[in-house]
Amino acid sequence: MTDTIGITALIPPELIYACGHRPLDVNNVVPESSLSPRSKLCAWTALWRELILTGSLDIDSLVVVAGGDCHNALVDGQKVALSGLPTHYFFYPFDTNLRYLYSQLESLEGFLGGIKDQEMFKYICGLKKKGLALEKQRVNDNARASDVFSALICFSDMQSNPYEFENLIDNIPHTEVEYSSRIALIGVPPIYPDFHKVAEEFGLHIVYDELPYEFIRLGGNDLQGLAKSYKNYSFAGPINNRINFINNELQKRRVDGVIHYTQFACHHTLEDEIFRDYLDYPFLTVQGDLPGPTPEQLKLRLEAFSEMLEIMA
Amino acid sequence: MNIGLDVGSTTAKIVLLDNNEVIRSKVVSSHNWKELLDTGMDEYNIVSTGYFRKKVPHNAAITEITAASLGVRYHIPDAQVIVDIGGQDTKVIDLLNNRFMINDKCSAGTGAFLELAAHYFNIPVESLGRLHSRTQRSAQINNTCGVFAISEMISQLVAGYTMEEVIHGIHEAFAHRIAQMIPPVEQVVLIGGTVLNTGIVDAMEIILGSTVVIPPNPQIVNALGAALYKNKSIPFKNTDILEQNPR
């Protein structure tokens, strides 16, 4: 029987598909939500928790990323577990330990009932190659960042249907992009669904989305392969590894400036000072809270950043 | 002639610039911005800024951050950090590092906070500076929330502090709130209508420990910057930023 498995952060979707189930990234429905969550710190976790507890999200079980994500997710995941939904806790190793991650993947495989379709590993790998090609397209100014982002952000679960998803990514239009500055967007993804479009209106071409890029660059064809790749999931490891990785990507993509999106009450906000010290680029920090259209105050910041970069150039 | 039109949340300002000299300026309330435009003014010459910059006639519209940078550099070419205290938000522009911060989630460091306080005392907001100077003693006011600060003001009045001492405390709370956004530098330039309040300026000088400079007509600096925009001045320090950050 195919179950829908909710995931709270990056869990190898190829493993869930190979076990005969479909993943549903519970974060991907948050930006369109109009719920007002009670007992809220970070809106991302509070909203997926509320959506699950109110039955608005139809999932059969939940995999909580409890190590390598945040304590908000861990607590909200337990609230969901207390409601009776089968819940599994997955821990990324902070020290990139291969054996530890392999054991976590084994345990997850057990929770999912074991691998049933080995071929799904290869199929998902093929999709991720298409994702990387899309990424190259926007870096080479041949695709709008808003179109590419809307596809890449869904690589965490392939919209629970990889075959239909493949059709969607095959139809991302090739468009020659005009812009004034090339931007890297680091941190958690913005909770505002129109953020990339708004940035485009101000001439900012986002050529790097930190977290969605993790979704397409990591993969594997068996548990060992997954462990070798996902141990490098930059969000879960030491920040100096992440800084080195980001710096390398920024150079490759020839960015003019960095936007750090932070979420209200998210511990990643504390990383802002570190990034400002170690990423040698013009730097803008923005913060969001509840989902909805990008607020005017945030638009002002983007516009001013765009003006500043243009004048500096 | 270049025209800078700054229509902000509270007031609207215009500056007419000819050969880099200010030949006229005027301030009215935001809702009366049309009074600033004479017949015969060519929209082609207008650069707008402020909250309503895209809602008023303009040839180009620029953000208050760029406008403030240009306007301040006109008077103070070596300006380091600008603090623009507006009616609804406060902007800190670090010209040395090409960075800016905007406080708009909380009213405690904006003109709106002072209006709230003046409204409570039933006095004009313009009189706050004068009342501040009547005392050196401060009633301590919580500096984290503008709305809760009003209930704290009441508590301090009940505790026996005078209105002047409470106003002194309000200005210090205001300055503390803004100081959190300001990098440590030798000199800070204050602009915006709120800096006409001498109580704020005094409190900022003490709390920052930096030299506080106020350009002539601080309320019209952004309109001046907008007028200068056509001259394509460079407001930000155009250097290799790679040299500035630690490794």
Provide the CA A141 distance to its chain's centre, in angstroms: 22
Residue A302 Cα to chain centre, angstroms: 21
Q: What is the pLDDT along chain B (247 residues), one digit of tens a residue?
A: 899 999 998 899 999 999 999 999 999 999 999 999 987 788 888 999 999 999 999 999 999 999 999 999 999 999 999 999 888 788 999 998 888 888 866 666 788 888 889 999 999 999 999 999 999 999 998 766 777 788 899 999 999 999 999 999 999 998 998 998 899 999 999 998 889 999 999 999 999 989 999 999 999 999 999 999 964 444 444 333 223 333 2
Residue window 221-280, chain A: list those with CB within 8 Å of chain B. 276-280
CB < 8 Å from A in window 212-241 of B: 234-236, 238, 241
For B19, left (φ over 0), alpha (ψ -120 to 50), or beta?
left
CA atoms within 13 A on the CB side of A309: 24
- Rounded distance between C-alpha atoms, residue A127 and residue A117, angstroms: 16
The residues near B202 (Cβ < 8 Å, ≥ 6 apart) are: B132, B133, B171
Query: Does B104 reach chain A within 8 Å, measured CB to CB?
Result: yes
Q: Which two tokens stand for residue B57?
A: 């006639």
Instruction: Please tell me if residue A123 touches chain B, with a CB cutoff of 8 Å.
Output: no
Going from the C-alpha of B204 to that of each of A22, A160, B149, the distances in angstroms are 58, 56, 18
Q: Tens digits of per-residue pLDDT, A283-292?
A: 999 999 999 9
Burial class for A243, CB neighbours closer than 10 Å (0-12, 13-18, 19+):
middle
CA gap B16, B11 in Å, rounded: 17
Q: Taking CA atoms, what residue in A is nearest to B104?
A: A297
- Domains plus CATH for chain B? 1-76+217-247 (3.30.420.40), 77-214 (3.30.420.40)
Domain coordinates of chain A in residue numbers? 4-111, 125-312
Rounded alpha-carbon distances, angstroms, from residue A211 to A272, B42, B210: 16, 48, 41
Identify the H or E element spanning A106: helix A98-111
- The fold adopted by the segment(s) A125-312 is Rossmann fold (3.40.50)
The closest alpha carbon to A12, from A151, A111, A109, belongs to A109
User: CB distance B63–A303 less than 8 Å?
Assistant: yes
- The Cα A40–Cα A27 span in angstroms is 15
Cβ of B63 and A278 within 8 Å? no
Chain A residue at shortest CA distance from B229: A311
The pLDDT tens digits of the residues spanning A38-84 come to 889 999 999 999 999 999 999 999 999 999 988 899 999 999 999 99
CB of A98 within 8 Å of a chain B CB? The answer is no
CA-CA distance, A282 to B241, in Å (whole number)? 8
- What letter would DSSP give residue A173? P
Q: Do A312 and B245 touch (CB under 8 A)?
A: no
The fold adopted by the segment(s) A4-111 is Rossmann fold (3.40.50)
Name the residue among A276, A283, A304 with its Cβ closest to that of B65.
A304
Type of residue numbered A277: D
In chain B, which residues have their Cβ closer than 8 Å to the Cβ of A277? 245-246
Interchain contact, B63 vs A307, CB within 8 Å: yes
Using DSSP's 3-state secondary structure scheme, residue B81 falls into strand
